[in-house]
């Protein structure tokens, strides 16, 4: 034995044997034995406890790692839970203790206790009592009892997922007692109300009137069970006792000659079509501007809410509400009685609202504010939403009042019946009432129209006819003559100024072009010198222009530019 092995043996360290490589013959024998065991021709392997090992168990489960059991014995112990590693779980049904300890409460403050209530099981920051003005540490009175010392319970898989773990059944008994008390109070209140009606004689009057109206159904139902079974269709009210097995579905069918709903408007943003129920509730022509009364189909909602459907639904709702409040009415059983009751209810409701309104006005006043004109007339504008069709008809909402601008509108001056700009002729504005082209002139009426129709078009060069007319000139004609003369003078002056300015401009342009040509020649020479230099000696940014060229410089560049397609380009430098 070597020194290293002796030292390991003295220290208690034993080397685990590494797995040895099997020969080919041993491997073949092992495989044959496994096949015979699977077929039942050979006995199964036995573990250290004498139990047979199933030969069909996969090898990765049955084989023992070499670092766990170096003896290479057939066993499944490594797959079973190890007792030394098993954690002790709390039994199911065990839970944290609630409340305080059942022992005498101390009367003195103990060191380390809560400064607020005096309990030893928590500190001041964890105290759930109301913060006292003078804590138990300083007052020495009102010590709170200690809570139970809680142990951290270790639950197993089922204990963690038990939803009733820690539930106290006494809590349910408290709820049952509360509901029984409420039920008893309801019965007492109902019996008291019945006694009051019997004492006043109101119940007898209702019974007599019921017998007079319907002799066939005159029976007294004393028990509550009989009252509940009186109307069978009460169980079919929407939202109550719905049974899917009794449901009868009526499909929304159509005949072959009808147009399919989804083909009425192919716009994808139009009304939604539900293919399952074949329903299209909205109007498919809503975005086309058509009125629902003019189209052939305006949606299921239009048909559903047309006619007496809405009033029928309101009557049914009134019947349900009245039945809940104790009135013996039904829409199908006694429709006449229900309709009379509904009409009287509407009248009483309107009278009650009117009396309430009058009492409020008598008490607080302000009746004069109710007689004020509508807001549209006061402010001439509203914030109501209005939709119009392509023809200008109002589709939704009320038509808005025209909003006035800050400028004066429809203000007539100098006896005019029309505003300035209501008449147009030959590029000039005027008044429509007298065809006058002069702004702020006095209206001449029909006489002015005759003069304008007989005379020439204003502001036109036609002086000869005006001179030859024998009738005396009016003020308007004299004004027009003055305007014509002024126009002629301005025109001749502009022509003279334009001629002289054109000559000066031509001379200046020639001068600037000559300077631009000389500058372009100098630039070309400079570029040629730079291009002859070596690239390493060429100055930085030598070919960069910063400013924008003028028109003369562009013209000079075009004139001096060398065109390669020019046949005389080779003779330019000679």
- pLDDT exceeds 70 at position 314: yes
Strands 387-388 and 394-396: antiparallel
The per-residue pLDDT for 48 is 84
The encoded tokens of residue 338 equal: 């229900």
Report the share of the chain in percent with pLDDT over 70.
77
Return the pLDDT at 184: 94
In this predicted structure, the answer to whether residue 416 has a pLDDT above a threshold of 70 is: yes
pLDDT range class, residue 498, cuts 50, 70, 90: low
Q: Which band of pLDDT confidence, cut at 50, 70 and 90, is reported for residue 262?
A: confident
Tokens of 110: 């103990």
CA dist., res. 484 & res. 490, Å (int): 10
pLDDT digits (tens, 9 = 90+) for 226-244: 444 444 444 444 444 444 5
φ, ψ (nearest 5 deg) of residue 76: -120, 20
- The 3-state DSSP class for residue 128 equals coil
| DSSP conformation class of 107 | S
Q: What is the pLDDT of residue 251?
A: 57
Q: What is the DSSP string of 393-455?
A: -EEESPPPPPPP-SS--S---TT-SS-TTSEEETTEEE-TTT---STTPPP-HHHHHHHHHHS
Whole-number Å distance between alpha carbons of 343 and 13:
106
Q: What is the mean pLDDT of the chain?
A: 78
For residue range 337-364, what is the model confidence (pLDDT) as tens digits? Answer: 999 999 999 999 999 999 999 999 999 9
CA distance 484 to 456: 12
Q: Give me the pLDDT at residue 428, please.
A: 86
Whole-angstrom distance, CA of residue 232 vs CA of residue 300: 31
Residue with more model confidence, 571 or 267: 267
What is the DSSP secondary-structure string of 273-327? -BTTTTB--S-TTGGGT--TTTSS---HHHHHTSTTHHHHHHHHHHHHHHHHTT-
Looking at residue 241, its pLDDT comes to 44
**Do 272 and 280 meet the contact criterion of CB atoms below 8 Å apart?**
yes
Task: Give the count of beta carbons closer than 10 Å to the beta carbon of residue 231.
Answer: 15
pLDDT (0 to 100) of residue 226: 47
Average pLDDT over residues 375-389: 74
For 313-338, letters b (16+ CB in 10 Å) and e give eebeebbeebbeeebbbbbeebeebb
Most confident residue range from 6-20, 192-206, 410-424: 410-424
Could you tell me which residue, 404 or 226, shows the higher pLDDT?
404
Q: What is the pLDDT of residues 433-445, one digit of tens each?
A: 998 888 888 898 8
pLDDT band at 136 (very low <50, low <70, confident <90, very high): very high
**Residue 103: DSSP 8-state:** S
**Angle, vertex CA 422, rays to CA 418 and CA 427, nearest 5:** 145
Q: What tokens appear for 15 in the block?
A: 């080397």
Unique residue bearing structure tokens 């501007």: 289
CA distance 308 to 298: 18
Q: Is residue 185 predicted with pLDDT exceeding 90?
A: yes
Q: What is the pLDDT of residue 31?
A: 92
Range picked from 108-117, 215-224, 453-462, 485-494 for highest mean pLDDT: 108-117
Distance CA 569, CA 574 (A): 10
CB 401 within 8 A of CB 413: no
Q: What is the predicted pLDDT for the residue at 357?
A: 92
Per-residue pLDDT, 97:
85
- The 10s digit of each residue's pLDDT in 273-286 is 988 888 888 888 88
Output phi, psi for 470, to 5 deg.
-80, -20
Backbone angles phi, psi at 376, to 5 degrees: -65, -35
Q: How many helices (H) and strands (E) does the chain have?
A: 16, 4
Question: Of all helices (H) and strands (E), which one includes residue 388?
Answer: strand 387-388
Q: How far apart are CA 178 and CA 415, in angstroms?
A: 91
Report how far residue 206's alpha carbon sits from residue 193's, in angstroms, rounded to the nearest whole number.
15
For the whole prediction, is pTM greater than 0.85? no
276 alpha carbon, distance to own chain's centre: 26
Angle among Cα 227, 230, 236 to the nearest 5 degrees reads: 110
Domain ranges of the chain: 14-85, 90-97+104-156, 246-306, 423-489
CA distance 234 to 176: 28
**Region 477-489 average pLDDT:** 81
Is it the case that residue 426 has pLDDT exceeding 80? yes
Q: Provide, rounded to the nearest whole percent, the portion of the chain with pLDDT above 90.
A: 21
Q: Is the pLDDT of residue 145 over 90?
A: yes
Task: Supply the pLDDT for residue 212.
Answer: 53
pLDDT band at residue 555 under the 50/70/90 scheme: confident
Instruction: For residue 148, give the 3-state DSSP assignment.
Output: coil
């Amino acid at each position: 034995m070597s020194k290293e092995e002796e030292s390991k043996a003295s220290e208690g360290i034993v080397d685990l044997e590494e797995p040895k490589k099997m020969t080919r013959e041993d491997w073949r024998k092992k495989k044959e034995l496994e096949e015979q065991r699977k077929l039942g021709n050979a006995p199964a392997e036995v573990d250290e406890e004498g139990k047979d090992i199933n030969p069909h168990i996969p090898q990765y489960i049955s084989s023992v790692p070499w670092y766990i059991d170096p003896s290479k014995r057939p066993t499944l112990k490594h797959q079973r839970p190890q007792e030394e590693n098993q954690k002790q779980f709390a039994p199911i049904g065990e839970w944290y203790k609630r409340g305080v300890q059942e022992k005498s409460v101390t009367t003195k403050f103990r060191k380390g206790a809560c400064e607020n209530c005096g309990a030893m099981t928590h500190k001041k920051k964890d105290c759930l009592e109301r913060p006292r003005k003078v804590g138990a540490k300083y007052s020495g009175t009102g010590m709170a009892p200690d809570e139970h010392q809680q142990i951290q319970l270790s639950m197993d898989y089922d204990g963690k997922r038990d939803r009733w773990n820690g539930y106290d059944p006494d809590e349910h008994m408290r709820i049952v007692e509360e509901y029984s008390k409420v039920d008893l109070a309801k019965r007492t209140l109902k019996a008291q109300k019945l006694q009051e009606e019997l004492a006043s004689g109101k119940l007898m009057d209702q019974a007599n009137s019921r017998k007079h109206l319907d002799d066939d159904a005159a029976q007294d139902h004393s028990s509550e069970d009989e009252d509940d079974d009186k109307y069978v269709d009460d169980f079919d009210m929407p939202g109550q006792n719905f049974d899917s097995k009794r449901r009868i579905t009526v499909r929304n069918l159509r005949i072959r000659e009808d147009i399919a709903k989804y083909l009425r408007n192919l716009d994808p943003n139009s009304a939604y079509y539900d293919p399952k129920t074949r329903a299209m509730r909205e109007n498919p022509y809503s975005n086309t501007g058509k009125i629902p009364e003019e189209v052939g189909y305006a949606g299921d909602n239009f048909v559903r809410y047309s006619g007496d459907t809405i009033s029928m639904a309101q009557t049914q709702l009134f019947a349900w509400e009245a039945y809940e409040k104790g009135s013996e009415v039904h829409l199908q059983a006694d429709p006449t009685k229900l309709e009379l009751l509904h009409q009287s209810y509407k009248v009483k409701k309107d009278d009650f609202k009117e009396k309430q309104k009058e009492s409020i006005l008598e008490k607080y006043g302000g009746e004069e504010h109710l007689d004020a004109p509508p807001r549209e007339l006061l402010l001439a504008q509203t914030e109501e939403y209005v939709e119009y069709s392509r023809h200008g008809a109002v589709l939704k909402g009320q038509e808005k009042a025209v909003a006035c601008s800050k400028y004066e509108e429809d203000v007539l001056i100098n006896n005019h019946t029309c505003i300035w700009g209501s008449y147009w002729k030959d590029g000039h504005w005027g008044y429509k009432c007298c065809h006058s082209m002069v702004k702020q002139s006095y209206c001449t009426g029909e006489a002015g129209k005759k003069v304008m129709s007989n005379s020439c078009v204003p502001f036109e060069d036609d002086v000869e006819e005006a001179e030859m007319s024998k009738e005396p000139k009016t003020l308007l004609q004299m004004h027009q003559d003055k305007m014509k003369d002024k126009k002629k003078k301005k025109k001749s002056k502009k022509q003279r100024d334009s001629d002289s300015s054109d000559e000066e401009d031509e001379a200046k342009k020639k001068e600037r072009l000559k300077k631009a040509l000389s500058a372009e020649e100098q630039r070309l020479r400079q570029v040629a010198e730079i291009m002859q230099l070596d690239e390493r000696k060429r100055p930085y940014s030598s070919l960069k222009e910063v400013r924008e060229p003028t028109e003369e410089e562009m013209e000079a560049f075009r004139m001096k530019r060398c065109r390669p397609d020019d046949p005389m380009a080779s003779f330019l430098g000679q």
